[in-house]
């Protein structure tokens, strides 16, 4: 596999990504906790996180597309 060259990201885009990332991570964390609260079983942290990440990402994508 050939190494890819880094792509320049416009400063404005980079700033938007870094500002929204902590907010997005917080939303994922909160959603993962809600998922945990629903089943109250240990051992599902990764599954809860991935499910929450998927839901929040889809929600963000829909918001951007609208």
Residue 23: CA count within 13 A, CB half-sphere? 6
Does the residue 14 lie in any domain? no
Does the residue 32 lie in any domain? yes
CB 35 within 8 A of CB 48: yes
Q: What is the pLDDT of residue 62?
A: 77
Torsion sign (Cα): 65, 46, 37, 20: negative
Q: What is the pLDDT of residue 13?
A: 42
Q: What is the pLDDT of residue 9?
A: 44
Percent of the chain with pLDDT over 70: 70
Q: How far is CA 66 from the centre of its chain?
A: 19
Q: What is the pLDDT of residue 63?
A: 77
Which residue range(s) make up the domain with 39? 26-65
Q: What is the pTM of this model?
A: 0.62
Does the residue 49 lie in any domain? yes
Those residues of the chain that have pLDDT short of 50 are 1, 7-18
Q: What is the pLDDT of residue 20?
A: 65
């Amino acid at each position: 596999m050939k190494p890819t060259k880094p792509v320049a990201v416009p400063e404005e885009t980079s700033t938007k990504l870094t500002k929204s990332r902590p907010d997005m991570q917080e939303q994922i964390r909160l959603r993962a906790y809600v998922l945990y609260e629903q089943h109250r079983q240990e051992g599902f942290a990764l599954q809860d996180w991935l499910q929450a990440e998927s839901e929040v990402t889809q929600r963000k994508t829909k918001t951007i597309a609208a």
